[in-house]
Structure 1
Amino acid sequence: MAASYDFVIIGGGTAGLVVASRLSEDPSTSVLVLEAGADLTADTRVNIPIFYAALLGSEADWKFHSAPQLGLNGRVLGPNQGKALGGSSALNAHVFVPPFKGVVDSWEALGNPGWNWTTLKGYFSKAYSSPAVAQDAKEALATEGWPELSEAKGPIQTSFGNVTHPIRKAWAELFRSGGQCNAGDPFIHSSVGSFSCLASIDSEGKRSYSASAYYKPAELRPNLHVLTNSHVEKILFDKGKRPKAIGVQYSLEGASKAVSARNEVILAAGAFQSPKILELSGVGGAELLQEHGINVVMDLPGVGQNLQDHLISYTAFQAKDDIETKDSLVRQETEALGQAMKEYTATQTGPLASLGVHTYAYLPLPAQDRTALQTLLTNYAPEDTQEHGATRAYYDIAKTIILDPEQPSAAYLSALGQTNYVKDLKDENIPAASLGKFVTLGVMLSQPLSRGSVHITSVIPGDSPIIDPSYLSNPLDVEVIARHLLGVKNLAQSPYLGKLLEQPLKFRDPVADFQGDLDAAKKYARDNLISMWHYTGTCSMLPRESDGVVDSNLRVYGIEGLRIVDASAIPLISTANLQATVYAFAERAADLIKRDWKSE
């Protein structure tokens, strides 16, 4: 191994570039990042927010397919994951929201001392900068009741987007009428209710992500090297009494190369690639490794298990003609696109500068639904003999969240326009865009109990792993999401949102009008739920006896010099969109790594 660095980071994605930037702040520390994708920081598809969809299925996407999902009537979904410098932060939908306090506190309850809301809250502030909000904009943003806004000053730049759109005030009035309008900045005061959400879009209308915000300012540091288009094949070990990670084997331009790590190898390849690389390297369930003829370096059955994701359902309602939406862009109307591009070029504002997702709400189920679910929760309680070591603990956390009126079991959002997507990759025809204007309400299942897996299918590094999220495999998930879906019509019919929508309501998809029928809502869920691409948990930070892969310092059990810092290590999925949580997670990880090596 001709090249040698103190730290070799596998994956230049959301988390990997945070760690690389922070570790290389010390000029005496050398850092190498190996990224499979290209540097797309100059690409307009990345930088102009509305064009993010053009990246899905492109060279910037791993183009994975899920296994057929029995819980979704055998549908195959596309788990889009970023293959570019910046990873999925280069192609996500920009939504920047925190997890709910109780979820993060559950990380500690699962056996991870120090991983709680109080500790992590400070790392959000270290990761992003909150936007300045003029006093006259606060009423339009529905933030006039906030006692304070976070004064975060981190690298990721955020904004509120279209401040004056009436959806914001209507949304706040709707939930305030039911006592569920969040009274404070959700990054400071965690409570159920609605809020105006941030987007990772800077003041110039450009995407702000780990490559532009963390890497580019550090790019010229002589102690930081980044190799793009470098495909990691396996981690190299010194297999003494206690195995130690000593380097990484990767391919570049068709040639196999190796680099040594003097201190640590840091795996940050994401929820699909991190378990795959571990298994190719001999770390994982011994039985699976032996099936593929891979020598076992460390038997860790939890590798690739515990896969979690958020499912979402979108319900679109026809909007009044004077409401600004993105529908003309969805239909790719030439005149609208031309006018929007002209406005963006001149002022970096207008329809291209955001996706039109401005409002969120973290909500519990109504009291009558929580009562109905109490019996089901008892009936579906896991047996203590179940295979996954943390199954009972996860069930207890979910039960608490579902039954507690002060904790959210779903996240709701509004989107200014219709959503068009492929529901089943076995039929790749995207539905034709509808004429007219729409406001779409999305409902996301925040704490699914279903767990899936990611595992290798061969010893060839270029082969995709088999990704099986096992959506709705736990029957409680469809019970919870269906009850939330039944309430969507009531929101749309309210006098607050009703001011923006055609009355009587006109559903884009008439089947989404369930008429109060729970079974119809369940059927709709199985036919229409899609992934939010919030994959976590496949190398979970859990006790080893609970099928954990890393300890509370993110060190892989039984192996020296190997740590995992990405969404795969997060033991319990965030409440909603994942990117803010991954940034804070990586910021804290960087501090843990610095602390460990300062004490050496």
Structure 2
Amino acid sequence: MTADTTSFDYVIVGGGTAGLVVAARLSENPDYRVLVLEAGVDNSADPRVHIPALYSALAYTDADWGFSTEPQPGLNGRQIPVNQGKALGGSSSINARVFVPPTKTLVDAWETLGNQGWTWDALRPYLARAYTSPEVDKSLEKAMGIGEWTSRENDTPRGPIQTSFPGSASHPIREAWAETFKMNGLAMAHDPFLESSVGGFSCLASIDPATKERSNATTAYYHPNKNRENLCVLTSARVMKIDFDMALPPAPIRATAVQYEQDGELRTVAVAKEVILAAGAFQSPKVLELSGIGDAQLLAQHGIDVVQDLPGVGENLQDHVVSSISYRARDDLETLDALARQEPDAIGQAMQQYTSNRSGPLTSVGVYTYAYLSLPAQDQQQLRELLGSNPPPDESSSSSSSSGSQPPLARALHDIGEKMLLDPQTPSGAYLSIMSQAPRPDVPNSGYPADPAVPGKFFTIAAMLSHPFSRGSVHIQSRDPLVDPAIDPRYLSHPLDEEVLARHMLHIETIATSPPLARLLQQPLARRDPASHLAADLDAAKRYLRAKSTSMWHPAGSCAMMPRALGGVVDARLRVYGVSNLRVVDSSAIPLISTANLQATVYAFAERAADLIKETW
């Protein structure tokens, strides 16, 4: 469809991970005219996008919004970079491609919050619809760390996203990782996409096994369908606001048009059926507030007329906070440290391998294995006591809780969090291995210095907090659409978060010293950062977290799917409360953050959102 069409059935705000999924599925019906407005460009031909190991070079480029948080008291006042994709495909074009599922307990908790029908059993078919599970030769299964799986998918998923077990099939980390967790009774018994709980496993990546290139929303959902006559995607089109018909009650409020800027001109496109917000956890609440939907007091401060008073817009922000420890590896272990140091000879050799036969270190980012773990039994009683000493506020209280939530929601989140934290079959932390040290570049306004790569080979284990109790916010700072929102995740603001993650950091040492994984590391263990020698000291772990933790770039929840009484923004069919034809379909609508990396969950969420929209029309 030509770009000069002035009216569409569906206008999708944001051509990122969720937006392109919904656009592809809605445009399957030739009677639906679908427009996607994306602020970035299609950069899928950029080698930094399609070559796996080069992804980090996209940070702070035109492909990245380059956001940073407000100073975080729980992290020594540091401002944390929260990179988000500003390109067709959104963050699926700049992320590290880790493709792991949520857990059943987590998704079932979405329904517990009042979202009827949002369960693992309902979501899992949409996970299967989104990706193709890689085939593995039987003779390689043990080396790949999946030889103990009693079952994989009976009917191999054949969705658009192509996945693989990244890197060399012969790399020893996978088998060593699997055997280490097996010896501790924590082997993942089957493909985690069937129904994951706790245990270690080899993880997938959204890397095409044939081409060894990134598989993302652009290549998988848009490019195969871009010639559809009823689908139009406009890039470099930045949405300013949504217009509404404010008919007098009982007629519902209705979205009528979307204003966007392109090529220096302000343009307007009319909407026949629905406006679909897919601008991400930082931008979807911003678009709502600029359009007059949000907390009436905040809108009044910025001189914005109120269309719908929804105080939950921009609240309930969650993110995974992560910290890591790097150990010196054996000299004969294959790592990516030479690339991390940007050694010219190593880069040249790697590029030659990649271009000639799609092999070598550029085919992955070095993340081969994962683990979903609950805390050891000895921690459970202490955590139970901490839960008792940090109850949610009474519902008669008008103040926010230490989690950042209002009392009714804080009670609901406390009850769910308690169940997840104390259930030995529900992970409270996610661990990943990285076949390299994790240097830190110089990040503007971060409050902490660069940590350049050093000589030697390293193996890194990182731990992230799967289910944070802390809740933050993201809100406009001006009625000017070009001004960045204020992002305040309030990392570790709830006392339990620091306690839980500190204990997971101490457990990293248990993993690193367990055979056979320990045989891949220099002995005695040598750490890249002396401060990471925590020596079973909980207070030292907490100090390390405050000084070193950062974001995993997994923001969610800021336009939460929850009952309006709990501060929800959209209902269980993802419709914005009080507006008849406006939905949110991205991670901002996910009420509780995924167990680990969000990518697979967002694809499944958007796939289901497309079906909900189709059912309506």
TM-score > 0.5 by shorter chain: yes
1:231 equivalent in alignment to 2:238: yes
For 1:238-317, list aligned pairs within 5 A: 238-240=245-247, 241=249, 242-317=252-327
Question: Counterparts of 2:190 and 2:380 in 1: how far apart (Å)?
Answer: 26
How much has 1:402 moved relative to structure 2?
A: 1.1
User: Offset at 1:146?
Assistant: 1.7
Aligned ranges 1:412-431 → 2 under 5 Å? 412-422=431-441, 425-427=445-447, 429-431=449-451
Instruction: Quote the residue 1:169 is aligned against.
Output: 175
Tell me, in whole angstroms, the C-alpha distance in 1 between the residues paired with 2:510 and 2:201.
19
8 Å Cα contact 2:557-2:592 kept in structure 1: yes
Q: Distance in 1 between matches of 2:112 and 2:442?
A: 36
Residue deviations 1:85-139, cap 9 Å, x none? Answer: 0000000000000001100000001000111000101001100000011111101
Report the AA paired with residue 6 of structure 1.
D
Please, which moves more after superposition, 222-231 or 378-387?
378-387
**Residue number among 349, 352, 375 corresponding to 1:339 in the alignment:** 349
- Output aligned runs, 1:437-516, within 5 Å: 437-516=457-536
Following superposition, the deviation at residue 430 of structure 1 comes to 2.3
Give 3-state SS (helix, strand or coil) of 1:7's partner. strand
Q: What amino acid sits opposite 1:463 in the alignment?
A: V
Contact 1:77 1:423 (C-alpha < 8 Å) held by counterparts: no
Query: What are the Cα deviations for residues 147-196 of structure 1, in whole angstroms up to 9, with x where unaligned?
Result: 33221100000000222111111111111011110000000032210110
CA distance in 2, matches of 1:481, 1:429: 23
Tell me whether 1:406 sits opposite 2:425 in the alignment.
Answer: yes
1:180 aligns with 2:202: no
In 2, Cα distance between the equivalents of 1:416 and 1:361?
15
CA deviation after TM superposition for structure 1 residue 429, in Å:
4.2
The equivalent residue for 1:594 is 614
Partner AA of 2:329 in structure 1? A
Q: Is 1:155–2:160 an aligned residue pair?
A: yes
Give 1:422 shift: 4.7
Residue in structure 2 matched with residue 211 of structure 1 by the alignment: 218
Are the equivalent residues in 2 in contact too, given 1:414–1:439 (CA < 8 A)?
yes
2:129 aligned to which of 120, 126, 145: 126
1:189 is matched with which residue? 195
Contact 2:81–2:446 at 8 Å: present in 1 too? no
Structure 1: which 5+ residue stretches go unaligned? none
Q: Is the 8 A contact 1:360 1:414 kept in 2?
A: yes
User: Structure 1: how far apart are the matches of 2:293 and 2:517?
Assistant: 52
Q: Which residue of 2 aligns with 1:17?
A: 20
Q: CA deviation at 1:33?
A: 0.1
Can you list the C-alpha shifts for 1:34-58, whole angstroms capped at 9, x where unaligned?
Answer: 0000111111110001110110110
3-state DSSP class of the match of 1:442?
strand
1:406 counterpart SS class: coil
Q: How many Å separate the matches in 2 of 1:2 and 1:46?
A: 31
Cα distance in 2 for residues equivalent to 1:154 and 1:228 = 25
* One-letter amino acid matched to 1:63: G
Q: CA deviation at 1:434?
A: 1.1
Q: Does 1:77 align with 2:61?
A: no
- Contact 2:441/2:452 (8 A) holds in 1: no
Deviation string for 1:13-51 (max 9, x for gaps)?
A: 000000000000011111000000011111111000111
CA distance in 2 between partners of 1:195 and 1:497 (Å): 13
**1:441 CA drift (Å):** 0.3
Structure 1 stretches of 4+ with a deviation exceeding 4 A read none
What amino acid is aligned across from residue 595 of structure 1 in structure 2?
A: E
Mapped partners of 2:341, 2:273: distance in 1: 52
Across the aligned residues of Structure 1 and Structure 2, the Cα RMSD in angstroms comes to 1.1
Distance in 1 (alpha carbons) for counterparts of 2:438 and 2:144? 24
Q: Distance in 1 between matches of 2:24 and 2:165?
A: 26
Letter matched to residue 180 of structure 2:
L
Report if the CA contact (8 A) 1:423-1:530 is conserved: no
CA distance in 2, matches of 1:315, 1:427: 21
Equivalent in 533, 544, 547 of residue 527 of structure 1: 547
CA contact (8 A) 1:35 1:227 kept: yes
| Whole-Å separation in 2 of the counterparts to 1:89 and 1:83 | 10
Structure 1 residue 273 displacement after superposition: 0.4
Provide the rounded CA distance (Å) in 1 between the counterparts of 2:536 and 2:142: 35
Task: Please list the CA deviations of residues 441-488 of structure 1 after superposition, one character each: whole Å capped at 9, or x if unmatched.
Answer: 010100001110000000100100000010011011000001111111
1:109 matched residue in structure 2: 112
Superposed CA offset, 1:198-255 (max 9, x none): 0000021100000010000000000000000001000010011321001100011110
What is the distance in 1 between the residues matched to 2:385 and 2:315?
29
**Contact 1:75–1:423 (CA<8 Å) still a contact in 2?**
no
Q: Quote how far apart the aligned CAs of 1:348 are.
A: 1.1
Give the match's secondary structure for 1:141. coil
Are the equivalent residues in 1 in contact too, given 2:440–2:452 (CA < 8 A)?
Answer: no
Moved more, 418-427 or 394-403: 418-427
Structure-2 change in CA distance of 1:490 and 1:147 (3 Å): closer
Q: Name the aligned partner's letter for residue 479 of structure 1.
A: E
For the residues of structure 1 that align with 2:424 and 2:150, how far apart are their CA atoms? 24
Structure 2 counterpart SS, 1:188: helix
SS in 1 for 2:21: helix
- Alpha carbons 1:170, 1:497 under 8 Å: kept: yes
Which residue is 2:388 aligned to? Answer: 378
CA deviation vs aligned residue, 1:403-428 (integer Å, no higher than 9, x gap): 11111000011110001125873447
CA distance in 2, matches of 1:74, 1:14: 31
Q: 1: distance between equivalents of 2:523 and 2:510?
A: 13
Residues 257, 181 of structure 1: alpha-carbon distance in 2 compared, 3 angstrom cutoff? same
- In the aligned structure 1, how far is the partner of 2:5 from the partner of 2:52? 41
Residue in structure 2 matched with residue 146 of structure 1 by the alignment: 149
CA distance in 1, matches of 2:77, 2:283: 24
Superposed displacement of residue 143, structure 1 = 1.1
Q: Distance in 2 between matches of 1:483 and 1:423?
A: 29
The DSSP-based 3-state class of the residue aligned with 2:12 is: strand
**Separation in structure 2 between the aligned mates of residue 422 and residue 396 of structure 1, nearest angstrom:** 39
Q: Percent identity?
A: 56
Q: C-alpha separation between the residues in 2 aligned to 1:314 and 1:191?
A: 22
User: Displacement, 1:349?
Assistant: 1.6
Q: Which amino acid aligns with 1:218?
A: N
Match in the other structure for 1:352: 362
Alpha-carbon distance in 2 for matches of 1:51, 1:422: 14
Residue 145 of structure 1 deviates from its aligned partner by 2.1
Count of residues in Structure 1 that have an aligned counterpart in Structure 2: 597
Indicate whether 1:566 and 2:602 are aligned: no
8 Å contact from structure 1 (residues 422, 428) kept in 2: no
Q: What is the TM-score of this pair, normalised by structure 1?
A: 0.98
Question: Distance in 2 between the 1:572 and 1:495 partners?
Answer: 35
Q: Is the 8 A contact 2:144 2:174 kept in 1?
A: yes
**Cα deviation, residue 350, structure 1:** 1.1
Measured after TM superposition, the shift of residue 495 of structure 1 is: 2.0
Contact 1:156 1:210 in 2 (8 A): yes
Gaps in structure 2 of 5+ consecutive residues: 401-405
Kindly indicate whether the alpha-carbon contact (under 8 Å) linking 2:103 and 2:195 is maintained by their aligned counterparts in 1: no
